[in-house]
């Protein structure tokens, strides 16, 4: 290890202070106490009940299962405690144009044939006008099961069509944080209740030395993890790291959230419905439904945004609205000196694809991989920041795709996206797709080709060509193959229990 920036200390980290006990703080605490088990390091978490947490966050991505599994958390206990339902994907309504509807599943469309992804064969059938090729969705077990409100665990046999999907949870993130708090405290994390009033910096290095609570108690640590939410208590207020504002691409800057009673069948999917100046979410949990309207205040007033939400609820509200403001973007450095920002303190991209909790997971995973010692090697810090920059940018591009792959021009909000200059990385991706039907792979890309295909096709952005290797098979052979795959998917879905039955019988009901 060389090139120490700002510190000449040596040796392993002995003390960690996590500032904040929202989802980010407790996920970080749980992961660190588990992964650093056996090492002589003390971990302390400070949170303030008076300040509270952001109080939203319900839909997740399948990767959260790997996170929980790596901590040895039982899915059954987790789902019971957090009132969770299963999630097979997101249903997008009115995005391509009003009246459109598609599901972005966690899974693929049909099996690759001779190494060529199935959708190229489907595009070939369509381009040749073959009748009966159906929707690409009919080749996805994940989409079909979601459409029929059905769920089962993925099959272990990779040859079975029931193995071709993943799943996530729709849960109460504040209950998840409480669950992880218990987990962490049982493993020795020390929790301190209190409000941090000030932060002391080392006058020579600018590193954070300690935080002082309103009670006067000062807490010193070698490493600080800033999980203080939008305020960025250490990363911004103390270290003035700076913020990359991405509202020129993702202009939505406010949200109103509201839970409603649970009525009717519980869908194994989240719904995102495009509105005139933003979009509305609907996330069914076991005992209630989370709803919210994300919008851009340049195009709609807060009162009007609230009316849009209230007019479009399908059950009575259980609580008054929670109003939130944000600026999409990310901290210029997610790791600065001896402070790592995890969660909202590191940045926020709107919740359209349920990526925030996932970005917390990315931040923790990368930190554990590049865990510092007291020298805080600058090359390691730079590498962490490079990786996190990519994670955020990849998500940004995918979110932006939903706003630009659209034919909607029925409001100033939607027309705004027509004249927008896209990030080069997204422009290249869209061009490769429309010209050749190719999905360019991204380093550190969270969303794999089927996700891009789902959104592009779901929003009517069809490619002009397809992979010519699909011409190696005669059209009638492809058509017979395709019919067999569709029948297989339909039969498998028909034999799948309903989502509600599965929740009841699998023992995950709260």
Binding site for ligand FAD (CB under 6 A): 20-25, 46-48, 51-54, 56-60, 173, 195-196, 227-229, 231, 233, 255, 257, 292, 324, 326, 343-345, 351, 354, 356-357
Q: How far is the CB of 217 from ligand FAD (least distance, A)?
A: 12
Q: How far is the CB of 282 from ligand FAD (least distance, A)?
A: 11
In angstroms and rounded to an integer, the radius of gyration of the C-alpha atoms of the chain is 24
- Give the Cα separation of 451 and 460 in Å (integer): 14
Helix residue ranges per DSSP H, 44-96: 63-70, 75-82
- Give the Cα separation of 479 and 133 in Å (integer): 7
Q: Is 23 annotated as a binding residue?
A: yes
Q: Is 406 annotated as a binding residue?
A: no
Counts of helices then strands in the chain (DSSP H, E): 14, 21
Q: Is 353 annotated as a binding residue?
A: yes
> In 10 A of CB 408, how many CB atoms?
20
Q: How far is the CB of 202 from ligand FAD (least distance, A)?
A: 20
Q: Do the Cβ atoms of 16 and 223 come closer than 8 Å? A: yes
Angle between helices 378-404 and 424-436 (to 10 degrees): 50
Q: Is 87 annotated as a binding residue?
A: yes
Q: Is 357 annotated as a binding residue?
A: yes
107 vs 290 by CB, closer to ligand FAD = 290
359 vs 430 by CB, closer to ligand FAD = 359
Helix residue ranges per DSSP H, 291-377: 302-311, 356-369
- Give the Cα separation of 335 and 339 in Å (integer): 6
Q: How far is the CB of 280 from ligand FAD (least distance, A)?
A: 11
191 vs 436 by CB, closer to ligand FAD = 191
CA 484, distance to chain mean position in Å, is 34
- Burial (CB < 10 A; 0-12, 13-18, 19+), residue 66, is exposed
324 vs 473 by CB, closer to ligand FAD = 324
107 vs 194 by CB, closer to ligand FAD = 194
Q: How far is the CB of 277 from ligand FAD (least distance, A)?
A: 15
Residue of 400, 362, 390 whose CA lies nearest to 246 = 400
Q: Quick check: is 87 catalytic? A: yes
Sign of CA dihedral 106, 109, 110, 111: negative
> In 10 A of CB 500, how many CB atoms?
18
Q: Do the Cβ atoms of 256 and 321 come closer than 8 Å? A: yes
Rounded-to-10 torsion of CA 407, 411, 413, 419: 60
Q: Which two tokens stand for residue 117?
A: 């992804």
- Give the Cα separation of 312 and 12 in Å (integer): 54
Q: How far is the CB of 273 from ligand FAD (least distance, A)?
A: 15
357 vs 439 by CB, closer to ligand FAD = 357
Q: How far is the CB of 226 from ligand FAD (least distance, A)?
A: 9
218 vs 487 by CB, closer to ligand FAD = 218
Which is catalytic among the residues 9, 87, 97, 124? 87
Q: Is 21 annotated as a binding residue?
A: yes
Phi, psi of 307 (to 5 degrees): -65, -40
Binding residues: 21-24, 87, 344, 353, 357
Binding residues for L-tryptophan: 353
Binding residues for FAD: 21-24, 344, 357
Annotated active-site positions, please? 87
């Amino acid at each position: 290890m060389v090139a120490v920036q700002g510190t000449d200390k040596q040796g392993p980290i002995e003390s960690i202070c996590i500032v904040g006990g929202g989802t980010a703080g407790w996920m970080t605490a749980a992961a660190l106490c588990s992964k650093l088990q056996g090492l002589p390091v003390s971990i302390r978490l400070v949170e303030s009940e008076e300040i509270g947490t952001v109080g939203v966050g319900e839909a997740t991505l399948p990767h959260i299962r790997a996170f929980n599994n790596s901590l040895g958390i039982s899915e059954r206990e987790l789902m019971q405690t957090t009132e969770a339902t299963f999630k097979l994907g997101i249903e997008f309504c009115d995005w391509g144009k009003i009246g459109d509807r598609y599901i972005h599943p966690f899974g693929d469309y049909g099996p690759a044939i001779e190494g060529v992804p199935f959708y190229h064969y489907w595009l070939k059938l369509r381009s040749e006008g073959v009748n009966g090729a159906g929707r690409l969705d009919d080749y996805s077990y994940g989409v079909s099961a979601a459409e029929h409100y059905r769920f089962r665990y993925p099959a272990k046999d990779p040859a079975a069509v029931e193995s071709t999907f993943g799943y996530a949870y729709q849960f109460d993130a504040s209950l998840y944080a409480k669950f992880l708090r218990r987990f962490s405290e049982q493993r020795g994390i020390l929790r301190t209740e209190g409000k941090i009033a000030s932060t002391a910096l080392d006058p020579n290095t600018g590193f954070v030395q300690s935080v002082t609570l309103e009670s006067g108690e000062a807490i010193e640590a070698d490493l600080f993890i800033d999980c203080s939410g939008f305020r960025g208590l250490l990363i911004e207020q103390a270290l003035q790291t700076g913020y990359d504002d991405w509202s020129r691409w993702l202009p939505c800057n406010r949200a109103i959230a509201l839970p409603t009673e649970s009525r009717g069948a519980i869908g194994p999917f989240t719904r995102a419905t495009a509105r005139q100046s933003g979009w509305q979410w609907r996330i069914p949990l076991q005992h209630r439904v989370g709803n919210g309207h994300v919008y851009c205040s340049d195009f709609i007033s807060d009162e009007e945004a609230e009316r849009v939400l209230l007019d479009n609820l399908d059950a009575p509200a259980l609580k008054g609205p929670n109003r939130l403001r944000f600026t999409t973007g990310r901290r210029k450095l997610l790791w600065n000196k001896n402070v790592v920002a995890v969660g909202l303190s590191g940045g926020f991209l709107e919740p359209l694809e349920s990526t925030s909790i996932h970005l917390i997971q990315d931040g923790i995973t990368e930190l554990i991989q590049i865990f510092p010692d007291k020298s805080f090697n600058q090359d390691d810090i730079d590498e962490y920041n490079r990786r996190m920059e990519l994670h955020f940018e990849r998500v940004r591009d995918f979110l932006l795709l939903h706003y630009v792959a659209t034919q909607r021009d029925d409001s100033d909000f939607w027309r705004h996206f027509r004249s927008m200059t896209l990030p080069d990385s997204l422009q290249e991706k869209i061009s490769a797709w429309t010209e050749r039907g190719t999905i360019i792979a991204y380093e550190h890309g969270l969303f794999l080709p089927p996700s891009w295909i789902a959104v592009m096709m779901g929003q009517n952005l069809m490619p002009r060509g397809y992979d010519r290797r699909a011409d190696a098979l005669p059209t009638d052979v492809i058509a017979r193959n395709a019919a067999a795959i569709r029948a297989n998917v339909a039969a498998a879905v028909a034999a799948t229990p309903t989502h509600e039955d599965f929740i009841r019988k699998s023992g995950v009901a709260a």
